[in-house]
Amino acid sequence: MIENETVLSKNNCKTCGRKLGNYIDRRKTRSFNREYFSITPYIFNNNEYYRVICIDCFYKIYNRLPMSPNAVNYDFKILLDIDDDNLKKIIKDKKSITLNKLIKKYGEVEGVKRFENYKNKQSYSNSYQYKKEKYGWSIDEYNNYNKSRAITLEKCIERHGEHDGRKLFEDYCNKQKYYGSTLEYFIERYGEVEGNIKWINICKSKALTINNFIERYGEVEGTNKFLEVISKGYSKSSQRFFWEIYNKLDERIKNNVYFAELNKEFGIYSIQESKAFLYDFVIKNYGVCIEYNGEHVHPRKDLLSIDEWKKWRCTWSNTTADVKYAYDIKKYNVIREYGYDVCVVWEGDIKRDRNLILNNCLNVINEGILKYECK
């Protein structure tokens, strides 16, 4: 091979020390076997990757020429010294079909049109109707197929053994919690500005709002599904505590009580916020609302240090302490506008001294009854 000395990279081959750059291949193989990414770097996520090994050394070590740079491949790890994690991200990004890629390639109108067609084809190819028409599947076969695709601890252990299976499943769960599910992921992938915008839009689209349910299922079915879903978000420990309170109330008060296992959680739809808020324990007409907060779902300012506050994440939604705390305050303020006093009890406090917290709640209820009867 003969080097072309007119255009050379500032990098040297890490194996032989030769200056990297364009060259002429005496074997007259395909044109892509030049020393690509020597002069112009490969760019991913605003990071530049330059070539680190020459053609001669690559051929001596692997007895072949590198694969084409037109398709991202695992030769990039050797040629550009890219670590495994970033290489996997690059390959996944290269193979993925996204709206932004299609708009960039075909323009706004055609790109959007092609992306919608792609989504519809993907959706249909995974449907029962498609599998039935193409493969003659029954509904049971279709359901079993979907179950077989699921990644479970049992399957990982069966395929990879106890130790490796558990590790693989743990890694999978951690990735699921991070990729596409955290603000940090979107900032890492799209940058500070675009990442924040995408995260906000995704949070809005996934929010349990009546408008989102109506958009997905239509007005009648969407409304019914919305009411059904939001009525199930409660813990068993909270219900045990509320039954204790309920059983200590006078019969004339019990008819005004709302909590999940008794009848349903008390809900208020806020026009200003365009969403419904559900409250754990409410005595209607007496202005009493008790919220049962678990520390894994609601951040607690009086116990968390500054560092713990920054690291805290909601178990259910993975939202930060600041976001979840602001939501809780907003929720309390909505019911306060209707004349209710809000009493927040913490699961940790109840575990430490159940009777104390129970008596405090009964005192709050008695005060509410007294206010009502004095009107």
What 3 state SS string does 301-359 have? CCCCCHHHHHHCECCCCCCEHHHHHHHHHHHHHHHHCCCCEEEEEEHHHHHHCHHHHHH
Distance set, CA 19 to CA 1, 55, 101, 155 (Å): 13, 11, 35, 50
Instruction: Name the burial class of residue 227, with classes exposed (0-12), middle (13-18) and buried (19+) by CB atoms within 10 angstroms of its CB.
Output: middle
DSSP character at residue 67:
P
Residue 88 makes CB contacts below 8 A (sequence gap 6+) with none
- pLDDT on residue 145: 87
What pLDDT shows up at residue 188? 84
Residue pair 157/170 in contact (Cβ under 8 Å)? The answer is: no
- Helix, strand, coil content of the chain in percent (nearest 5): 55, 15, 30
In this prediction, residue 246 carries a pLDDT of: 94
Q: What would the two tokens of residue 358 be?
A: 């129970």
Element (H, E) at 281: strand 281-283
**Distance separating alpha carbons of residues 5 and 60, to the nearest angstrom:** 22
Per-residue pLDDT at 4: 41
Mean pLDDT by 10 residues, the chain (375 residues): 45 86 54 70 83 89 82 83 83 81 88 88 87 90 85 87 89 80 80 83 67 76 67 76 93 90 85 84 92 90 89 83 93 91 91 91 91 78
Using CA atoms, how far apart are residues 115 and 103, in angstroms rounded to an integer?
A: 9
Question: Would you state the pLDDT for residue 6?
Answer: 39
Please give the Cα distance from 133 to 142 (Å, whole number).
12
Query: What values do phi and psi take at 209, rounded to 5?
Result: -115, 155
Residue whose tokens read 């007005």:
219
Closest CA to 206 of 175, 180, 185: 180
What is the spatial distance between Cα 362 and Cα 348, in angstroms, rounded to a whole number? 19
Length of the chain: 375
Q: What sections of 68-218 are H helices per DSSP?
A: 75-80, 84-95, 99-106, 108-125, 128-135, 139-149, 153-160, 162-178, 183-190, 192-206, 210-217
- Locate the domains of the chain by residue range: 2-89, 97-150, 231-373
Among 151, 188, 187, which Cα is nearest to 170's?
151
The pLDDT value given to residue 229:
59
First to last CA, the chain: 98
